[in-house]
Structure 1
């Protein structure tokens, strides 16, 4: 099986793609299957959060681009500034758009948001929340030390 020991920042035409949910995009060692059905092993030196601008560089030179997969989310509308503060206070990942705030489906979060006056709608979409305190990666401290090509 081909192995990926490295993640590269990538904007070209990939050899294949792999669609991963937000939670699945945090990994260190895991067997994945590309969208064309080709298995490969990710074996990184440390746990890393990958994004839609990243690709796995396989030992045979192929580049497998990461795509944010559709997943169950909640679209939150209402007083967005106030609601965003409460979501952030819970350290929950959140995507911000002109259409509202998007968070992963979770019944306790839904209940809190509805009690705060939010309108909450179930949607299925790719989830690409805002980065951590310094604008990239997860709040856990992804240091962005992988290669750029």
Structure 2
């Protein structure tokens, strides 16, 4: 490979690293991931009969400039055989905010509470089941 080809390939690589994430996170792949990588009420994928017991229910209580976000997944905690592993919060740009891990031997139900300070906008909540994958719901803070 000569120097000019090397430079062209380098420029193509840099360009694709800038454009590709915007395409993926801009909605094209995000819509395709629902029902596959994660599940929602509208796109439950192969788990269409599991929505009521796996979709996280979100309650938002405004507190000044922030909020208290309460999450409950109506799922049984059957020891380590079948349980909700954790709840995870992502901000409006899908960046990690916080999480709560569950111990099915100690936690009677998968319920969590998160305090958000100086935050407004969409909050994405993930509920992860050890058998039925990851479920996402969204609320406005």
With the shorter chain as reference, the TM-score category is: under 0.3
| TM score, norm. by length of structure 1 | 0.23
The structure with more helix, counted as a fraction of residues: 2
